[in-house]
Amino acid sequence: MAARKPRTSVRGRVTIEEVAAAAGASTISVSRAFRGSARLSPDLRARIENAAAALGYVPDRAASALASARSMNVAVLVPSITNMVFVDMLAGIDAVLSQARYQIIMATTNYCPAEEQRQLHGLLAFRPDGVLLTGIDHLPGTLNLLKAPALPVVHMMELNHQVGSYSVGFSQDEGGAAIARHFVGRGYGRIGFVAAQLDPRTLARGAGFRRALKEAGLDAPYELMVPDRSSIALGATLLDRVLTECPDIEAVFFCNDDLAHGALFRCQRLGIAVPQRLAIAGFNDLPASSWTVPALSTVATPRHEIGRKSAAMLLDLMCGRTPEAARLDLGFTLHARESS
Amino acid sequence: MAARKPRTSVRGRVTIEEVAAAAGASTISVSRAFRGSARLSPDLRARIENAAAALGYVPDRAASALASARSMNVAVLVPSITNMVFVDMLAGIDAVLSQARYQIIMATTNYCPAEEQRQLHGLLAFRPDGVLLTGIDHLPGTLNLLKAPALPVVHMMELNHQVGSYSVGFSQDEGGAAIARHFVGRGYGRIGFVAAQLDPRTLARGAGFRRALKEAGLDAPYELMVPDRSSIALGATLLDRVLTECPDIEAVFFCNDDLAHGALFRCQRLGIAVPQRLAIAGFNDLPASSWTVPALSTVATPRHEIGRKSAAMLLDLMCGRTPEAARLDLGFTLHARESS
DNA sequence: GGCCTAATTGTTAGCGCTAACATATTTTGC
DNA sequence: GCAAAATATGTTAGCGCTAACAATTAGGCC
């Protein structure tokens, strides 16, 4: 017995056992005190907290996870953190999960489904209690990984219409359509769509844009789509190509604000009047968009709220509660500004 | 004995034991196979890998960490991830650490030393093998937390001259001085310094800026410093205040590019000619800075490289190797563009 | 008081994995 | 051909914590 009860841990860390000894309590009571459990007299709790503070005790999540089958980790997969959109979403997620004592374990997929599966596999080693995925398009293998441990999953940014799946987002397709209708309302004739980083959400925006133009009886738009990662520099480059390939263009929908900013700056540089000579619209409403001159027309997306609500929904699922709705549409807001 | 060897794990997860049984090997061999250890015949290794793949085995980091006293986690603390600078740094860190099979456990401090300590305490529950901290100014309690477990630490972004500490960065002070000398070289007379989010790095830039102006025999600059978080919107607001409070100002150094962009946009809006009427400079060289019209003069910081080198240095320390240098100065580059 | 219920605290047995120490098995040197 | 060294594989005992149960104490009521 003595061998099983070292008063000083082997590895030089303060363990629950030392705290228990110092507080004159049992290990399980220390464990309970740290998990905020009820069923502990104020006196014992105080003694334990004092002892823990004095010894500098830090709980060990690994041991806790192993013993309890709950890791209090949540795996989050986002395409990129260089994209402000996902950073805002992450902030929303963290706000809700850290409140509930969960820790985010995050990885980036680089917009690649295969990389998503690889990264998820890696994150599963943390035995997360739930998973947040960006988007609704995943490899079969990715979803398979989640089946065996029956992990709760919430899909973010898009709306998943598959039964049994949970999602929080808005209709990317409708967002694209909103820009199209705005262009139509302003009377633009020759219209273009420029996209990069052709992820499912970008493509959905393009589809909605096209559909709405068609519904309004207009010609199919001029389209320029490249697989490269979106950036301001790429937006500038693509604007040049648009002007070369389609000189009579009147309005262009750039699939996101990064590209639109690049195009806007390029127009300034070239002395092209926006919106008189060329109207420009973006998507997402980044902070810069309302400050550029001219201010950028764009669709504001509720990404922070998407993060919050996704986390809340996952929290429900992880606690065995049934979320109010399996699909939460948070909508979007068209901001018609000076650039169109 | 039979009770200690369940062929199917209690929790429905595939365990190392089931893989071992399926491959006709011992558990330790499976463990060795997954840690890429040598001392395994190609035949056994193949059998284990096949069995693991067939069963869908995912290792359990919690159990591994508990058994081995190595978590393969690295705790990283950054002020914010809404700031591109730290995102770039994180990308550099991740590139190196994921290569070495380490996982980043990240938290944000919101530029607050007390929050840094709180978050570090939380991350220590992951028993990280090393820690990366942003900056060199920390609460005594923060450093104390790292003392007991004798955790390797590398400080990022600034250079720490304290003996026994490791840091990778550049001289923020010199960066500020570089802008000052640039302004002096261009012959500007009435000069200003505008700062927000007064973290130690911002203050160091200001100090260097001031020092260099003094060395050049100029008057002390007009200064406007506010504690708010930096943003484009704030940059625009502060520009208005600068013009009101100091109408004859000729050149302003904004402590970062976000503020400078806001100021630049505001000048465009107000019809203030940059740099003719007012010269503007920023700090960090964000992607937009070379595309704005006029292009923004700024100091490019090697933040991605700082991330890479910090991670590499920490890797050395975690493996018990001694890094080549305890302090790595990666410098910076002044980009004198159109705005000044 | 005596009996019951409820609240509080403790004991025991692992969670899944790996370090440290055996134990085969093969290779090498002479 | 045989001991010594090198290589390959296995056995055992926990890592620090918590679930499940057990035991103890306090409170309530007639």
Contact status of B271 with chain A (Cβ, < 8 Å): no
**Is pLDDT above 90 for A60?**
yes
Asked whether the beta carbons of A156 and A310 are under 8 A apart, the reply is: yes
Contact status of B82 with chain A (Cβ, < 8 Å): yes
Classify A130 as helix, strand or coil.
Answer: strand
Domains of chain B: 16-59 (1.10.260.40), 71-170+303-331 (3.40.50.2300), 172-300 (3.40.50.2300)
In whole angstroms, D27 C1' to A41 CA is: 15
Contact status of B63 with chain A (Cβ, < 8 Å): yes
The confidence score (pLDDT) of residue A6 equals: 45
Strand D lies under 7 A from the Cβ of residue A101: no
User: Which residue of A69, A261, A269 is in closest CB contact with B11?
Assistant: A69
Phi-psi region of A44 (alpha: psi -120 to 50; beta: other; left: phi over 0): alpha
Task: With CA atoms as reference, report the closest residue to B79 among B110, B115, B113.
Answer: B110
Task: With CA atoms as reference, report the closest residue to B286 among B110, B39, B21, B88.
Answer: B88
Put simply, the answer to whether A103 touches B106 (Cβ < 8 Å) is no
In whole angstroms, C28 C1' to B40 CA is: 20
The confidence score (pLDDT) of residue A12 equals: 75
Contact status of A337 with chain B (Cβ, < 8 Å): no
**Is pLDDT above 80 for A177?**
yes
A 195-254: CB under 8 A from B: 231-233, 236
What is the C-alpha to C-alpha distance for residues B22 and B6, in angstroms, rounded to an integer?
A: 13
Indicate the angle between helix axes B303-318 and B84-99, nearest 10 degrees.
40
User: B32-37 long-range contacts, Cβ below 8 Å, gap at least 24?
Assistant: B34/B59
H or E element at residue A251: strand A251-254
The average confidence (pLDDT) of chain A is 93
Confidence of residue A2 (pLDDT cuts 50, 70, 90): very low
Task: With CA atoms as reference, report the closest residue to B226 among B189, B261, B199, B263.
Answer: B199
**Is pLDDT above 50 for A247?**
yes
Asked whether the beta carbons of B177 and B193 are under 8 A apart, the reply is: no
User: A163-166 long-range contacts, Cβ below 8 Å, gap at least 24?
Assistant: A164/A326, A165/A136, A165/A326, A166/A313, A166/A314, A166/A317, A166/A323, A166/A326, A166/A327
Q: Which residues of B touch A231 (CB under 8 A)?
A: 287
A 156-175: CB under 8 A from B: none
Q: What is the 3-state secondary structure of chain B?
A: CHHHCCCCCCCCCCCHHHHHHHHCCCHHHHHHHHCCCCCCCHHHHHHHHHHHHHHCCCCCHHHHHHHHCCCCEEEEEECCCCCHHHHHHHHHHHHHHHHCCCEEEEEECCCCHHHHHHHHHHHHCCCCCEEEEECCCCCHHHHHHHHCCCCCEEEEECCCCCCCCEEEECCHHHHHHHHHHHHHHHCCCCEEEEECCCCHHHHHHHHHHHHHHHHCCCCCCEEEECCCCCCHHHHHHHHHHHHHHCCCCCEEEECCHHHHHHHHHHHHHHCCCCCCCCEEECCECCHHHHCCCCCCEEEECCHHHHHHHHHHHHHHHHCCCCCCCCEEECCCEEECCCCC
Confidence of residue A9 (pLDDT cuts 50, 70, 90): low
- Under DSSP, the state recorded for A322 is P
Within 8 A by CB and 6+ apart from A313, the residues are: A154, A166, A168, A323, A328
Strand C lies under 7 A from the Cβ of residue B108: no
**Is pLDDT above 70 for A1?**
no
Classify A103 as helix, strand or coil.
Answer: strand
The confidence score (pLDDT) of residue A194 equals: 98
DSSP A54-89: HHT----HHHHHHHHS---EEEEEES-SSSHHHHHH
Contact status of A60 with chain B (Cβ, < 8 Å): yes
Put simply, the answer to whether A149 touches B69 (Cβ < 8 Å) is no
CB atoms within 10 A of CB B331: 13
Beta bridge partners of B298: B335
pLDDT in tens, A32-55: 998 877 678 888 888 999 999 999
Put simply, the answer to whether B91 touches A82 (Cβ < 8 Å) is yes
Put simply, the answer to whether A126 touches B291 (Cβ < 8 Å) is no
Strand D lies under 7 A from the Cβ of residue A27: yes
Confidence of residue A10 (pLDDT cuts 50, 70, 90): low
Task: With CA atoms as reference, report the closest residue to A28 among A44, A43, A13.
Answer: A44
Task: With CA atoms as reference, report the closest residue to B83 among B44, B110, B46, B45.
Answer: B110
Instruction: Among A126, A230, A267, A337, pick the best mutation site for testing chain B contact (most B Cβ within 10 A).
Output: A126
Within 8 A by CB and 6+ apart from B304, the residues are: B88, B89, B91, B92
Tokens of A337: 């500004």
Provide the sign of the torsion angle of the four alpha carbons B136, B139, B142, B144, taken in this order. Answer: positive
Confidence of residue A205 (pLDDT cuts 50, 70, 90): very high
Asked whether the beta carbons of A329 and A170 are under 8 A apart, the reply is: yes
Task: With CA atoms as reference, report the closest residue to B34 among B11, B12, B53.
Answer: B53
Tokens of B57: 């085995």
Strand C lies under 7 A from the Cβ of residue B7: no
User: Which residue of A69, A287, A293 is in closest CB contact with B233?
Assistant: A287
Strand D lies under 7 A from the Cβ of residue A13: yes
Q: What is the pTM of this model?
A: 0.91
Minimum distance, in Å, between the CA of residue A74 and any CA atom of chain B: 12
Read off the pLDDT of each residue in A171-199 and give the average, rounded to a whole number: 96
What is the C-alpha to C-alpha distance for residues A80 and B111, in angstroms, rounded to an integer?
A: 23
**Is pLDDT above 70 for A8?**
no
Residue numbers of chain B with a pLDDT score lower than 70: 1-10, 38
Q: Which residues of B touch A266 (CB under 8 A)?
A: 291
Instruction: Among A61, A93, A146, A339, pick the best mutation site for testing chain B contact (most B Cβ within 10 A).
Output: A61
**Is pLDDT above 60 for A300?**
yes
Put simply, the answer to whether A106 touches B103 (Cβ < 8 Å) is no
What is the C-alpha to C-alpha distance for residues A290 and A339, in angstroms, rounded to an integer?
A: 10
What is the C-alpha to C-alpha distance for residues A265 and A269, in angstroms, rounded to an integer?
A: 6
Contact status of B270 with chain A (Cβ, < 8 Å): no
